[in-house]
Structure 1
C-alpha cells in the first residue's frame, strides 16, 4: 500500500498565495490514482481559524473515506489554552490520526506535544529550516513521534537537510518526509544514515505532482521491503495506536 503522508486540502482564507488560498483535490486525486497511491494524509492550508479548517478537512475525508486520512492543523499561539480541546475533537469526532503545525504560524510548544502524547498521535512539524527546536522536542518528548517534512526545509536549505538527517539518525522518535526535496542525494543520505524505517513518502500536494514525488522514492533503488516502509508502512506504524488512545480519552471532548 502506498500512502502519501503530506497533502493539503480545502480552502484557506488569507489570500496571499496558493498555500493559504486554495488546495483543490480533484486533479491531485486523479494524479495520485494514476500513480498508484492508495491513501493520502490531508490537512488544511493555512487558515485564520483552524478549528473551522479542521471541520472542513473532515468533510473532505468523509467524501473519500477509503482514500483520505485526516490530520488536525493547530496554531501554537492563537490556539493556546485550547489545543487539547481542538485536537480531541478532531481525534474523537472525526478519527483524525495526527497533528500538523507550521513554524510560519508559530513554533511547536509543550501544549501541542502534550496533546500529541495524550492522544497517541504523531506531530508533523514544519520548522521552515529552523531545526534547533527539534532537538528539544525529541529529547523532552521521547514518547511522541515527530515527522519533519521536506527534510526540514521546503526552501532547499541544504544545511537544514543535513541537520534533520543527523536528527533522524540520533533520535528514535524523529522521522522525515520526502516531500519537495529537490537535492536528491540528501534523500539518499537520509535513508543511508537514518534507515528506511525513519523516512516517509510525502508529496506536499496538491501543488506538487504526486507522481513526480513518488518517482523520487522509486529512484532510490531500495530493496522492496525497505521501499515499502517508506511508501506506507512507516506511516501506518506511527498512527496505529491512535484509535485506542482516542477511545480511552473520549471523555475529554463533549
Structure 2
C-alpha cells in the first residue's frame, strides 16, 4: 500500500499565495489514484486559526476514512498554552495520527514536543533549512519521532540538505520525506547512507504532482522491501497503523 505522507487540504485564509488559500483535492486525488497511491496524509494549508482548520480537514478525512489520514497543524507561538488541548481534540475527537508545524509560522518548541510525547504522535516539522534543530530534538526528545520534510529544505538549500543527511544517519528518531527534493543525487545519498527506513514518500500535494514525486522513488531502483518502507511502511510504523 502506497501512502503519501505530505498533502495539504482545506481552507486557508491568508490569500497571499496557494499555500494559504483553499487547497482543493479534486485533481490531486485523481492524480494519486492513477499513480497507485492508496492513502494520503492531510494537514491544513497555512491558516490564522489552526483549531478551525484542523476541524475542516477532519471533515474531509471523515468522508473517506479508508483513503485519508489526518495530521493536526499547530502554531508553536500563537497556540502557546493550548497545544496539548488542541492535540487532545485532534487525537480523541478528530482521529488524527500526527502533528504538523512549519518554521514559516514559528520555530518548534518544547510545548509541542511534550504534547507529542504525551500522545505518542510523530511530528512533521518543516525547518526551512534550519536543520541543526535535529540535534536538539534528538537529544532532548529521543522518544519522539520527527520528520523534517524536503530533506530539510524545500528551497533547494544544498548545504542544509547535505547536513540533513548527517542527522538522518546519526539520530534514530530523525526522518525525512521525499517531497519536492530536486537534487536526485542527494535523495539517493540519503537513502544509501541513512537507510530506506529513514525516508518517507511525500508529494507536497495538491501543488506538486503525486505521480511525479512517486516516480523519483521508483527511480532509486531499490529492492522491493526497501522501496516498500519508503512508500508506506515507515509511515505505518511511525503512526502505529495496522
Q: TM-score range with shorter-chain normalisation?
A: over 0.9
Cα distance between partner residues in 1 of 2:58 and 2:8: 12
Aligned to 1:222: 222
Partner of 1:251: none
1:110 corresponds to? 110
Give the TM-score normalised by the residue count of structure 2: 0.99
1:7 match: 7
Q: Does 1:181 align with 2:181?
A: yes
SS in 1 for 2:93: helix
Partner of 2:18 in structure 1?
Answer: 18
- Residues 32-86 of structure 1 show CA distances to partners (whole Å, capped at 9, x for unaligned) of 0000000000000000000000000100101111110000000000000010000
Deviation at 1:231, TM superposition (A): 0.1
Per-residue CA deviation, residues 184-235 of structure 1 (Å, 9 max, x unaligned), is: 0011011011100000000000000000000000000000000000000000
Q: How does 1:88-107 map to 2 (within 5 A)?
A: 88-107=88-107
Residue ranges of structure 2 left out of the alignment (5+ in a row):
none
**Displacement of 1:112 after TM fit?**
0.2
Q: TM-score normalised to the size of structure 1?
A: 0.94
Instruction: Give the count of matched residue pairs.
Output: 242
Aligned-partner Cα distance in 2 for 1:138–1:39 = 29
Secondary structure of residue in 1 paired with 2:147: strand
1:192 corresponds to 2:192: yes
Q: Matched residue of 1:46: which SS?
A: coil
CA distance in 1, matches of 2:25, 2:204: 12
SS in 2 for 1:11: coil
Is 1:134 aligned with 2:160? no
- Shift of residue 95 of structure 1? 1.1
Matched ranges for 1:72-87 at <5 A: 72-87=72-87
Say which SS state the counterpart of residue 55 (structure 2) adopts. Answer: helix
Q: Distance in 1 between matches of 2:7 and 2:138?
A: 24
What corresponds to 1:37 in structure 2? 37
Deviating beyond 6 angstroms after TM superposition, the runs of 4 or more aligned structure 1 residues are none
TM-align CA RMSD = 0.9
Q: Distance in 2 between matches of 1:8 and 1:138?
A: 26
